[in-house]
Structure 1
Amino acid sequence: MDCCPSSRRQALAWAGLVAVLPFADVATGAGAASAAARPKRLLVTDLDVVTVTDTSVVITWFTGSTTEVDRYGAPTPVPTDTELLLGEPGNPGSLRTVFHDTSPTAFHYAEVHGLEPGRTYAFQGRSAGQVAQQSALQFPGSGGSMDAPGVFTTLLPPPGRYLFTVALCNDLHMGEQTAGVIVGDWPPSFRQDPGLPPYPEVMLEALLADLRQPDRGADVLLVAGDLTAEARPKDVTRVRQLLDGWGRLGRDYFVARGNHDRPHVGQDYAGCTPVPGADDHHDCWGDTFRYRRQTLSTHEVGGLRIIGLDTTTLDAAGGTLDDGQLADLRRELREDRDRPTLLFGHHPVTFESAVTTAAGPGFDLDQVKARELEALYRRAPGVFFHHCGHTHRNKRTFAQDSKAVEFLEVAAAKEYPGGYALLRCHTGGYQVNFYKTRTELAKRWSQRTRAEYFGTWTHYTLGTIADRNHTVVRDLSGLRPVR
């Protein structure tokens, strides 16, 4: 996960982890599969309530064999049907089928629209008539979440008129061939099946295809770092090619550098621009995306000011902000203090994030610089959101002395849970929702990488429902639609 050799402390930290109702959009088919049609020895598990909006829900699960395993010791996939039932909490007899897709798959993705805002629903996922079981840890009440098994509560919509949608993603790792390694060959890691496309391409292509679908409708995309595994020229070129197929850099999508995208040393990088003062380092990522190290970028979408930060160092996994970039940011924010502003950069900022990051506080933004950044935000009332990646988890935090700015870590695109967040802006606030990608190959890879870090990965990365799905009331009336 790190760009650089892991410290013993980071490795030990990771090791510590081892330790009634009319509903719309009912799909084809009806009712549960008959007992006669049920495959024998079927495991129906790994149920996740992934996305909860004001009017919809996405619930996923997996069906596998209880007697056959793959080369990693995981149950082999068993394709069967996908059925979702909803009803009233505490009343099992009220459960009714609202989604039933008879197309066989082992990687089940049930999405239902037309729900009532602010309402609590009981739910049940089924395949071949068997009830799907949750396997990830639950966090009742954490961060305002109500992650209780068997129920979810839809959000209230943001006030005012809908304006536009900003997609947030990070940690694409183009060029990576092995997932889940910390140092050397430890812990056990995962690779793509022979004959299939590289998994970073599978996951990014699925993400970009999703964002153009009418039910997602992203207007712009922010990529908060680690676009590549190690910034090799061919990988930087490939990720730029895929992103350019979706839109134009600086207009439709915006990027910030991550620690994996840093300038590198070695013959593979010798043809790229040397870094001033560190001529043995060559900046292939900067050559392709036209951003110099430790410089910010500014953009505008529908009146929203978007500022990208470069929080990377030359040789470390942790992040920083140099004095020059902080001075530039100070000037930018001072010139228009009240303008609605969103910032994004690779490394998480807050103290809460630092002390809950599995690899330790040194993995995040340098905490002295982090406090300076938070102080700048306090003096600019228009700043309301900071998007970051790096930890590969969904985690929502705030500065210790203020709730005015939301700091959101979004889970990695390249592995479980494998997705992106949508920030839907209204004149009276915004709603955040996390979505898994949904092509068959993407779902297959996401399922495989649930088992990273001895099976602890899901408990760390998915986050609570409130981390990845929430509504915030805020005056954004100065913004305008972009379509």
Structure 2
Amino acid sequence: MLDPRLHTAWLVNAASGAAAATVRAPMARPRGSASARGQLIVTDLEVVTVTHDTAILTWTTRRRDRSGTLRPAASDTEVRLTPADSPAAPVTRFYDPRRTAHHYAEIRGLEPGRRYRFTACSDGVRAVAGRTWVTRRPGTPEVTGVVRTAPPPPGRLLRTIALTNDLHWGEDRSGLIVAGLPPGLRHDDGHYPQVMTDALLHDLRRPERAVDHLVVAGDLTDSGTADQVAGIRARLDDWGIHGRDYLACRGNHDVARGREDHWGWAFHARRRLTCHEFGGLRLIGLDTTRHRGAGGTISATQLAHLREVLAAAPDRPTLIFGHHPVTRYAALSNPGGPGFVLDRASGHALHACYRTSPGVFLHHSGHTHRNRMSRPDSGRVEFLEVAAVKEYPGGYALLRIYERGYTVHFHRIAAAAALAWTDRTRRQYFGLQPDHALGSLVDRNHQVSHDFSGVIARR
């Protein structure tokens, strides 16, 4: 008999696919996206990030060649903007004359709590959303041309943590599901995980990001080989100190296929949690992997250790991270179904732990390669899935902790090579990758109240 949960998952995913297919059906082309040969097509507009004082937009420009095939076309980058309550026309707030096909505009100095009208364009042609439901649904900023900044939580900024996952160091083909299908995409030099990881780490050192700690929630490697583990460990060690500047947990791709646990030798042994404290803030990493298979579990010994750690200081502000998503919502809404995420027994056990530990405020996971703020099965802990570093939408979430709350903002990796690969991999899975992976504006940008007054700011 068909498991009703799996049946529900199929219905949810089929509906999502149908919606995406509807968006891609033939339609009248928007003004400003002319398709005649040689004319500039400015599309795939995405309002990726909106903070209290910044908005980040990306888009692409293409032209049709003699055969009618769309090719990247270099052009300038401009964003015009004005307060939404102003009768004045938008004025240029960002302009980059450098010619590129992959556009990234970061507009700073906005007022918190204000709505703005904007227009993004290249060579004078207005950018429009791509044929994806996630940016074409009613009310999205890509459709309305309006963004709203939200005031940050009260109090001082205490810590900034980058939440990342799914680097897949050593992978040579992106977009595979099983047995070489779909065909997948290759980078020109075959090293796109290295390109994306290097660009990520460079991004995190930008002064405006001001990252204190980096969390990598699994799948650091493609298959856990000695070479892959050594490569990613060396690259992360160039960026910072393990256990202080960056923390990591194991993902299913990090589980060795042979007897040697190379990942364990480089980082920490299987089925063990890690716990670090930084100025009154506690970060706990879980190993949710099985010896085989894509789904996740937590051993009884590890659960007992977690209960012990949380019980010792239940009110201490605590971020927990593990590779596999936890909630029933995550199980039913991801394309892999319930068998792809953490098993129900482990999920119930985590929820029970969190109900008696009011200091736990967020559980971060990866694995699904999407941005999704998941509803908890019970309680108030936020369960957050963050999209993959190694492919579209190609980025990381910044968790900023203030005295009276925290914000989450997803950032696309800004390096030119990273933007080019991100644009290429948006075509994965028969063009459905954006609808699966990008997430809504709220999934990518939101804030939550919480008491962090006992946390010490990093100097």
TM-score, length-normalised on structure 1? 0.85
Partner SS, residue 451 of structure 1: coil
Instruction: Tell me how far apart the structure 2 counterparts of residues 76 and 188 of structure 1 sit (CA, whole Å).
Output: 21
Displacement of 1:298 in angstroms is 0.4
Distance 1:13 1:227, change over 3 A: farther
Aligned residues between the structures: 434
Mark the runs of 5 or more structure 1 residues left unpaired by the alignment.
1-6, 20-38, 266-280
Aligned counterpart, 1:282: 260
Aligned counterpart, 2:242: 249
- Is the contact between residue 113 and residue 149 of structure 2 (CA under 8 Å) also seen in structure 1? yes
- Is the contact between residue 138 and residue 149 of structure 1 (CA under 8 Å) also seen in structure 2? no
Distance 1:392 1:161, change over 3 A: same
Instruction: Tell me how far apart the structure 1 counterparts of residues 15 and 225 of structure 2 sit (CA, whole Å).
Output: 32
What is the letter of the counterpart of residue 288 of structure 1?
A: A
- Is the contact between residue 138 and residue 148 of structure 1 (CA under 8 Å) also seen in structure 2? no
Which of 415, 424, 432 does residue 400 from structure 2 map onto?
Answer: 424
Query: For each residue in 1:346-401, what CA deviation from the matched residue of structure 2 results, as whole angstroms up to 9, or x when unmatched?
Result: 00011111110111111010012101101100101110011100000000013133
Aligned counterpart, 1:31: none
Displacement of 1:74 in angstroms is 6.9
Partner SS, residue 285 of structure 1: helix
Instruction: Tell me how far apart the structure 1 counterparts of residues 309 and 180 of structure 2 sit (CA, whole Å).
Output: 45
Aligned counterpart, 1:220: 213
- Is the contact between residue 207 and residue 437 of structure 1 (CA under 8 Å) also seen in structure 2? yes
Which of 134, 140, 152 does residue 138 from structure 1 map onto?
Answer: 134
Distance 1:465 1:206, change over 3 A: same
Aligned counterpart, 1:332: 309
Partner SS, residue 62 of structure 2: strand
Partner SS, residue 144 of structure 2: coil
1:460-479 counterparts in 2 under 5 A?
460-479=436-455
Aligned counterpart, 1:308: 285
Mark the runs of 5 or more structure 2 residues left unpaired by the alignment.
1-5, 19-36
Distance 1:424 1:451, change over 3 A: same
Aligned counterpart, 2:271: 294
1:378-397 counterparts in 2 under 5 A?
378-397=355-374
What is the letter of the counterpart of residue 56 of structure 1?
A: T
What is the letter of the counterpart of residue 249 of structure 1?
A: H
Partner SS, residue 346 of structure 1: coil
Instruction: Tell me how far apart the structure 2 counterparts of residues 102 and 250 of structure 1 sit (CA, whole Å).
Output: 42
Displacement of 1:288 in angstroms is 1.4
Aligned counterpart, 1:51: 49
Partner SS, residue 76 of structure 2: strand
Which of 90, 94, 118 does residue 95 from structure 1 map onto?
Answer: 90
- Is the contact between residue 351 and residue 378 of structure 2 (CA under 8 Å) also seen in structure 1? no
Distance 1:222 1:123, change over 3 A: same
CA RMSD of aligned residues (A): 2.5
Which of 121, 124, 127 does residue 126 from structure 1 map onto?
Answer: 121
Distance 1:469 1:10, change over 3 A: closer
Instruction: Tell me how far apart the structure 1 counterparts of residues 319 and 357 of structure 2 sit (CA, whole Å).
Output: 11
Instruction: Tell me how far apart the structure 2 counterparts of residues 88 and 139 of structure 1 sit (CA, whole Å).
Output: 22
Instruction: Tell me how far apart the structure 2 counterparts of residues 84 and 370 of structure 1 sit (CA, whole Å).
Output: 44
Query: For each residue in 1:30-55, what CA deviation from the matched residue of structure 2 results, as whole angstroms up to 9, or x when unmatched?
Result: xxxxxxxxx94211111110010000
- Is the contact between residue 147 and residue 465 of structure 1 (CA under 8 Å) also seen in structure 2? no
- Is the contact between residue 11 and residue 359 of structure 1 (CA under 8 Å) also seen in structure 2? no
Instruction: Tell me how far apart the structure 2 counterparts of residues 304 and 148 of structure 1 sit (CA, whole Å).
Output: 40
Instruction: Tell me how far apart the structure 1 counterparts of residues 140 and 160 of structure 2 sit (CA, whole Å).
Output: 24
Which of 57, 63, 66 does residue 65 from structure 1 map onto?
Answer: 63
Displacement of 1:471 in angstroms is 1.4
What is the letter of the counterpart of residue 51 of structure 1?
A: T
Aligned counterpart, 1:36: none
Instruction: Tell me how far apart the structure 1 counterparts of residues 69 and 395 of structure 2 sit (CA, whole Å).
Output: 22
Query: For each residue in 1:77-106, what CA deviation from the matched residue of structure 2 results, as whole angstroms up to 9, or x when unmatched?
Result: 111100001124487862211111111011
Partner SS, residue 425 of structure 2: helix
Aligned counterpart, 1:273: none
Which of 199, 202, 207 does residue 209 from structure 1 map onto?
Answer: 202
Instruction: Tell me how far apart the structure 1 counterparts of residues 454 and 142 of structure 2 sit (CA, whole Å).
Output: 35
Instruction: Tell me how far apart the structure 2 counterparts of residues 74 and 238 of structure 1 sit (CA, whole Å).
Output: 38
Distance 1:246 1:11, change over 3 A: farther
- Is the contact between residue 192 and residue 421 of structure 2 (CA under 8 Å) also seen in structure 1? yes
